[in-house]
Chain A
């Protein structure tokens, strides 16, 4: 099978890569692009560890073909901090111990950011249900939910 040549924007950078037609976006991110922050927890779209945004839409990169990235704007955990400055969600997760082993954290953060991008004032239920596709086996979610709510409040305060 001939490889496909794909041009996309990844974390704001124009990016080209070659992929097999049956390769997933996750495999390409973790392989040729060296962006290993996205994790494979299940390969079936059930755990959310591979969450990225595709043109602003939250997707499981394990369920997306790499070829679908043609012309798209892809954002991963690696694009979340600005240089050394952590995104407010990352800072809050650190401060509140909303992570333990860290394997779910990239997906959790990408998903949480996607929520706040469209809903800057979510209720606790909205946070819990939005993140219901992201498995965390360590924390019990309590601090994650609280960290997202507190970040949302701070970000609303900041734009006021």
Chain B
């Protein structure tokens, strides 16, 4: 990967990462944010094309029903309506798809149509599309559609869906089990038999959804004249979408362009194929006019994927010294009637049982994950897939075991975290860790939060009837996934990323990258890498992303992969371009390139630092005065490199979070006082942006822990599908979040050494908050094992409200 000499770049005592003008490790502001601050961002909703039509959908009011007669006459006769379309009308061009992956063995799902055909399986499923000249007209006409339904009994609870004799939602599948996986490692039964203590709980995680402030949206523009389809889509994954659309509509990929403009939040929600977006594309092709769909908030709640929604029974055995002997986990989830396309709805459950116990040493593990079909909105992957569930189960059991043995929770972790000098490590489950820093992170955390002082304060306040809690949660986070994942499963989802970089005539750099920007700062960190390696001022680097026509083929944004993978591609491409420039400069100066360097935007003599060329002079010579170049000099001022990690399936990061909060035992209300995180994501390119990824993630995690729940009734109707009733964290309730760093563990797989950081915040915040709540409730011998931990949930745990079945908590699934 490295090989400076081979690339003709002079050896330097400093690496590219720490040269004097390096931007690596510097908190620079995002140049592309100015536009957003001025209100000049261009999101899909802002795009208007000539002859553009709008589509709105009639969606199922039932969770499960047979569709009878559909009366569209009044809608079709409405003002400004162009076309009213049912499932059968677009079936010819838009066949149902199936969301399974080959490497998830035994997984099954039924074909999912863009518009429901004879049955609907979930509230919100689109049935009729209305195309009109304005969005308002399309929405008005939808109100005039009448559909005869024969309501069928909904299957809402996953236990019921998997019970013997349960009605089968899709008879051709044989049963309602979408996926099952079991893990058995080591002598589990013997470990429990020999244990000094065994702790066990059943944990409920409510369904949540992403609530991207910008709803999903797409403008599909099919130009019959040249047969090209252009999609402006609020998507994290334009390259994946192009490949899927080609498959879906039988077009060559080269005739499809997917543009992801400014994206108003994604968090995993905008990485799936949705029936309404597929239908919009089909309509644009059939009508040969641009068609726009932007979801409104109410339909977002019942059409965006949901996530979490797990019940996990967890057990842990420890010896008398508190060492973990074994974990057992049984995870069950209901994912709606279809597995999401193309990443499936099985990955979250699969991750849950992969990640339980992740930070710790334990020799024996038994787990089962079951994924059931049901009549609710489709569930799939949302930021930190599986992580917060696995982390909460693990960390809650760790705290319970500590209490059972009379150990401090911090000491319990110290005794079990994988040692910092043990790497590389392969865990009992088979996770491969290249290098982590759990102990350093924990030590830093305890120092940063002044753990002992906080414990003393807690005890003093407790004596006065004020109940505060301290919660710790160590975590691991999956980043930089290797090719062993979706590609191997048969989906057109790349693990590699590419970067093309060129020297512009005026001496600046233009960088085209296969990953995108959704606000996390991808473009900025890539610019920092290029500016550092090439040694030009950051302001001279322009980054182009989000357009399949103008960027290299690559993997897009998911699984915290952009900085680590596309960052390395950028580093290598920039090195290659620099070598080209020095070769040209050497030929012009009749000097060996090895004696030249680029510093602060100028070609200099490496030894003396004497400036020889401005980069603009080289560029102008190469582009416009090629006649003056010496014989044999190639005019190559553009270089492209791709990178894929191969050595490890993932570049795991690690860290620890802590929460300090107060529980009002009269009302059940939780007040968050402070939150801390220490994270090790390897090489930090931009500390400011890493910190903001952590903070934002933590607050999303807190949302799940305390507020967010898709509340369903027994008929499969979501009861709070609006922003007033579905609670997300707002400014008033959120704590200060302090961030600490440790000497990190850069991945040696890449020269850059960067791991991801986008999901760490979400991964452990719920566990830290849950442990803190239970720490506060300790004097009452009460504990909470369900999220969201609403006041009601806490009052039930305190016995001040009657408990519901099993653990106190929300309806599950």
A56 to B560, alpha carbons, bound, how many Å?
42
| Cβ–Cβ < 8 Å partners of A134 in chain B | 730-731
Tell yes or no: A61 within 8 A of B by CB. Answer: no
Most chain A Cβ neighbours within 10 Å, of B264, B695, B734: B264
Complex interface residues of chain B between 714 and 743 (CB less than 8 A to chain A): 722-724, 728-732, 734, 736-737
CA distance A122 to B36 in the complex (A): 25
Binds A, one of B40-48, B109-117, B283-291, B594-602: B40-48
Cβ–Cβ < 8 Å partners of B730 in chain A:
131-135, 141
In the bound assembly, the distance between CA atoms of A47 and B215 in angstroms comes to: 12
**Does A153 count as interface, using CB distance less than 8 angstroms?**
no
Q: Which B residues are CB-close (under 8 A) to A49? A: 213
A43 with B692: in contact, given A37-B38, A102-B36, A136-B213 (CB under 8 Å)?
A: no
B29 close to A77 (CB less than 8 A): no
A43 to B135, CA, bound (A): 14
Q: A101-B214, A138-B696 are in contact. Are A132 and B731 (CB under 8 A)?
A: yes
> Is residue A100 contacting chain B, with contact meaning CB distance below 8 A?
yes
Cβ distance B691 to chain A, nearest Cβ, rounded Å: 8
Contact partners of A43 in chain B: CB under 8 A: 296-297
Indicate with 1 or 0, residue by residue over A10-43, a CB within 8 angstroms of chain B CB atoms. Answer: 0000000000000000010010000111111111
B698 contacts the other chain (CB 8 A) = yes
Check if B39 is an interface residue, CB within 8 A of chain A.
yes
Q: Within the complex, which residue of A44, A47, A96, A138 is in contact with B519, where a contact is CB–CB below 8 Å?
A: A138
The answer to whether A103 touches B214 (Cβ under 8 A) is yes
Please, which residues of chain A bring their CB within 8 A of the CB of B212? 137
Contact, CB under 8 Å: B731 / A37 = no
* Chain A residues within an 8 Å CB radius of B213: 39, 41, 47, 49, 101, 103-104, 135-137
Query: What count of chain B residues pass the 8 Å CB interface test?
Result: 56
Q: List chain B residues, Cβ under 8 A from A41.
A: 213-215, 297, 723
Interface core residue of B40, B518, B519, B697 (most chain A CB under 10 Å): B519
Roughly how many angstroms separate A46 CA and B212 CA in the complex, as a whole number?
Answer: 14
Q: How far is the CA of A39 from the CA of B732 in the complex (A)?
A: 22
Q: Return the contact of A144 from the options B296, B698, B731 (Cβ within 8 A).
A: B731
User: Which chain B positions have C-beta within 8 A of A27?
Assistant: 136
Q: Would you list which residues of chain A between 108 and 160 have a CB under 8 Å from chain B?
A: 109, 127-129, 131-145
Partner of B265, one of A36, A44, A46, A103: A103
**Do B262 and A99 touch (CB < 8 A)?**
no
Residue of A134, A139, A140 with highest tally of chain B CB at under 10 A = A140
| Cβ–Cβ contact B39 & A80, under 8 A | yes
B38 — nearest CB in chain A belongs to which residue?
Answer: A81
**Residues B40 and A140 in contact, CB atoms below 8 Å apart:** no
B41 touches A102 (CB 8 A): yes
> Quick one: which of B699, B724, B729 contacts A46, CB cutoff 8 A?
B724
Q: Is the CB of A39 within 8 A of B45?
A: yes
Residue of A nearest to B697 (CB): A140
With A42-B723, A129-B732 as contacts: A100 and B214 at CB distance below 8 Å: no
| Chain A nearest Cβ from B219, distance in angstroms | 14
CA distance A118 to B520 in the complex (A): 32
Q: What is the bound-complex CA distance between A95 and B734, given in angstroms?
A: 22
Instruction: From B43, B214, B267, B737, name the one whose CB has the most chain A CB atoms within 10 angstroms.
Output: B214
Q: Which one of A40, A42, A47, A90 lies within 8 Å of B37 (CB-CB)?
A: A90
Chain A residues whose CB sits within 8 angstroms of the CB of B732 once the complex forms: 128-129, 131-132
Chain A contacts for B520, CB-based, 8 A = 100
Q: Are B689 and A39 in contact (CB under 8 A)?
A: no
Say yes or no: A77 contacts B214, CB within 8 Å.
Answer: no
Measured between beta carbons, the chain A residues less than 8 angstroms from B695 are: 139-140, 142-143
B321-342 Cβ-contact flags toward A at 8 Å (1 or 0): 0000000000000000000000
Q: Which residue of A lies closest to B262 (CB)?
A: A102
Q: How far is the CB of A3 from chain B (nearest CB, A)?
A: 13
Q: How far is the CA of A100 from the CA of B30 in the complex (A)?
A: 9
Distance in Å: Cβ of A123 to nearest Cβ of chain B: 13
Q: Is A94 engaged at the interface, CB distance under 8 Å to the other chain? A: yes
Counting chain B CB atoms within 10 Å of each CB, the highest count among A97, A127, A139 belongs to: A97
Q: Which residues of A contact B696 (CB under 8 A)?
A: 100, 137-140
| Inter-subunit contact B731/A103 (CB<8 Å) | no
In the assembled complex, A76 has its CB within 8 A of some CB on chain B:
yes
Q: Which residue of A lies closest to B723 (CB)?
A: A46
Instruction: List which B11-64 residues lie within 8 A (CB) of chain A.
Output: 29-30, 33-43, 45-46
Bound-state Cα–Cα, A78 to B30, Å: 20
Asked whether B263 is an interface residue with its Cβ less than 8 Å from the other chain, the reply is yes
CB-CB < 8 A to B267: which residues of A?
137
Task: Specify which chain B residues have a CB less than 8 angstroms from the CB of A37 in the assembled complex.
Answer: 38-41
Q: Are B214 and A97 in contact (CB under 8 A)?
A: no
Residue interface mask B377-418, A partner, CB < 8 A = 1: 000000000000000000000000000000000000000000
> Is A4 at the interface (CB under 8 A from chain B)?
no
Tell me how far the C-beta of A11 lies from the nearest C-beta in chain B, rounded to whole angstroms.
Answer: 10
CA distance A139 to B696 in the complex (A): 4
Contact bitstring A73-94, B, C-beta under 8 A = 1, else 0: 0001110110000100010011
Contact of B38 among A44, A86, A142 (CB under 8 A): A86
Residue pair B737, A39 in contact (C-beta under 8 Å)? no
Q: A24 → chain B, closest Cβ, in Å?
A: 10
Give the CA-CA distance A151 to B731 in the complex, in Å: 17
Say how far B188's CB is from chain A's closest CB, in angstroms. Answer: 39
Q: In whole angstroms, what is the CA distance A35 to B266 when docked?
A: 24
> Is B688 part of the binding interface, using a Cβ–Cβ cutoff of 8 Å?
yes
Among residues of B, the one whose C-beta sits closest to the C-beta of A79 is B39
* Complex contact A101–B723 (CB within 8 A): no
For B215, what are the chain A residues with a Cβ–Cβ distance below 8 Å?
Answer: 41
Q: Chain B residues near A102: list those with CB within 8 A.
A: 33, 35-37, 41, 262, 264, 519
Query: How long is the Cα–Cα vector from A140 to B731 in the complex, in angstroms?
Result: 8
Residues of B within 8 A of A105 (CB): 36-37
Q: Mark B495-531, 1 if CB is under 8 A from A, else 0.
A: 0000000000000000000000011110000000000
Contact check, A94 vs B34: say whether CB atoms are below 8 A apart: yes
Q: Please report the C-alpha to C-alpha distance between residue A87 and residue B181 in the assembled complex, in whole angstroms.
A: 56
Contacts known (A36-B46, A38-B39, A99-B33); A141 close to B699, Cβ less than 8 A: yes
Residue of B nearest to A110 (CB): B39
- Chain B contacts of A144 at CB under 8 A? 731
Contact A106 B39 (CB under 8 A): yes
The answer for the CA separation of A131 and B692 in the assembled complex, in Å, is 19
Closest B-chain residue to A95, C-beta based?
Answer: B29
Q: Which residue of B lies closest to A93 (CB)?
A: B37
A39 touches B731 (CB 8 A): no
Q: How far is the CB of B781 from chain A (nearest CB, A)?
A: 33
Once the chains bind, are A101 and B262 in contact (CB under 8 Å)? yes
Find out whether the CB atom of A39 lies under 8 angstroms from the CB atom of B724. no
> A105 CA to B40 CA in the complex, in Å?
11
B residues apposed to A, CB below 8 Å:
29-30, 33-43, 45-46, 136, 210-215, 262-267, 296-297, 518-521, 688-689, 691-692, 695-700, 722-724, 728-732, 734, 736-737, 761
A-B contact pairs, 5 of them (CB 8 A): A39-B214, A100-B521, A102-B519, A137-B700, A140-B692
By Cβ-Cβ distance, the 4 closest A-B pairs, closest first, are A37-B39, A102-B36, A103-B264, A101-B519
Beyond the given A138-B696, A139-B696, could you list 6 further A-B residue pairs with CB under 8 A, ordered by the A residue number? A39-B43, A46-B724, A80-B39, A94-B30, A99-B33, A137-B267
